[in-house]
Amino acid sequence: MGKRLWLHPAAKPVLFIACLLPLAWLIYAIGTNQLGANPAEGLIRGLGDWTLRALWLTLAITPLRQLTGLAALARFRRMLGLFTAFYASLHLLSYAWLDMGFAWADIAADIAKRPFIWMGFTAWLLMLPLAATSFNRAIKALGGARWQLLHRLVYVAAVIGLLHFIWMRAGKHNFAEPAVYGVLLAGLLGWRLWKKVGRG
């Protein structure tokens, strides 16, 4: 029954709707003044939080598939990866619009001046080729080996994204939440390393 559930034709549409719920909540929170004294900052940070959560879920697909034996979970990885890039792009867009007013010279100076913004921008740049090559036609054009090599950039993007989060929270001496994300990422990457060493 469990395996059939994950293979059900409605599974992907349900996941698609679920991935949009955080955005719907943030929009609702703006309209009902639930994002605090600085709604723009609340929106930017909320989108950043959901970028990391979507990325961590994407990275969790393979370990979950291996632990549970549910091969069908792999069919959701592409969608989660694309939603990660979607939320990352909205995060950057909201910063450029709400925080900087699309003043491109000021944005460039801010990215160069503040290391945590540079980190976030770099992580977003690394996600772009992954999103652009997530489709079957791109996989065929690149070849399986080169495609897999390119998509290992997701691990680099995850580490840089975590550093962006830690550095941003360091200004307020708030390390509790970044520590949780760090432990989860260490577990996800450690699992892959352990499996690779085990195969060797």
Indicate if the pLDDT at residue 200 is higher than 70: no
> What was the pLDDT predicted at 132?
95
Q: What is the pLDDT of residues 110-154, one digit of tens each?
A: 988 898 999 999 999 999 999 999 999 999 999 989 999 999 999
> What was the pLDDT predicted at 172?
72
Indicate if the pLDDT at residue 1 is higher than 70: no
H helices present in 8-75, as ranges: 11-31, 39-68
Report which of 106, 86, 69, 66 is spatially closest to residue 16, judged by C-alpha positions: 86
How many domains is the chain partitioned into structurally?
A: 1
Q: What mean pLDDT is reported for the chain?
A: 93
Indicate if the pLDDT at residue 4 is higher than 90: no
pTM: 0.94
Q: What is the pLDDT of residues 39-48, one digit of tens each?
A: 999 999 999 9
183 lies in which domain range?
2-199
> What was the pLDDT predicted at 90?
98
Confidence of residue 55 (pLDDT cuts 50, 70, 90): very high
169: tokens are: 């929270």
Q: Which residues contact 157 (CB under 8 A, 6 or more apart)?
A: 55, 123, 126, 127, 130
